Amino acid sequence: MDEGAEVRSTFYSHRSEQANLHRFTFGMFRLQDLIGLFLAGVFYQYRVIFYYLVARFVPFLQDWADRSARKYMAYMASESDTDISELTADVGYNYWNMHLDRVATYLGLRKPQEPLDLGTFPRHPVLFFIGTKKDMKFYPERWLESLQQRSDHSEAVFLPAVHWVMVACREAFHSKMREFLTATKK
């Protein structure tokens, strides 16, 4: 299996856990949270959400949405020799669901999630990669501390990258990923 296939299969196999992490990251919802979520989205997320929705609901524009998403995301690939030719408008999927969930919770259409026990959330080992050159941080510091204190091989790994740590720091990323998968193999 090539390195890219290993990462893709690992990333996409845990979509429900990923959704729970997004909910956890933003915490309980208040008006100031809604405003903060809106402002964070303005710079990046709403554009990829737009491409995702066009591709999903206007089938004859899907090719345009995919090309537009690739063009918009090209700046992230400038960290290395990344080939983004297979990237599609689906890059907006997680952002769409995260924003939809937050707004629905704020409007009372969904019940807020119960507080989480940081020492046990999620209930499986976590390998969390963090790009140290990224301007914004979408995780609470206490969650990182809780990862480091767990005894199940969970770990936060800091790498000198912006957004795509698996691209900018390919060797270090895959080495740590192999080590983690071996240590947590059942």
* Whole-Å CA distances, 158 to 46, 49, 57, 92, 134: 27, 28, 38, 25, 11
As given in the structure block, the two tokens for residue 107 are 């409007």
Q: How far apart are CA 95 and CA 50, in angstroms?
A: 10
Domain boundary among 111, 142, 164: 111
Q: How far apart are CA 109 and CA 112, in angstroms?
A: 9
| Predicted confidence (pLDDT) at residue 28 exceeds the cutoff of 60 | no
Q: pLDDT at position 176, please?
A: 95
Q: pTM for the whole thing?
A: 0.55
Q: Residue 42: which pLDDT band, with cuts at 50, 70 and 90?
A: low
Q: State whether 103 and 33 are in the same domain.
A: yes
* DSSP per-residue codes, 130-144: EETT-S---S-HHHH
Q: State whether 67 and 8 are in the same domain.
A: no
Domain boundary among 64, 92, 111: 111
- Distance between start and end Cα atoms, the chain: 20
- Structural domain harbouring 64: 29-111
As given in the structure block, the two tokens for residue 20 are 């729970």
Q: State whether 41 and 103 are in the same domain.
A: yes
Q: State whether 186 and 132 are in the same domain.
A: yes
pLDDT in tens, 128-140: 999 998 877 777 7
Q: Is residue 171 within 8 Å of residue 89, measured between CB atoms?
A: no
Q: State whether 104 and 34 are in the same domain.
A: yes
Average pLDDT (163-183) is 89
pLDDT in tens, 118-169: 666 678 888 999 999 887 777 778 878 888 888 889 999 999 988 778 888 8
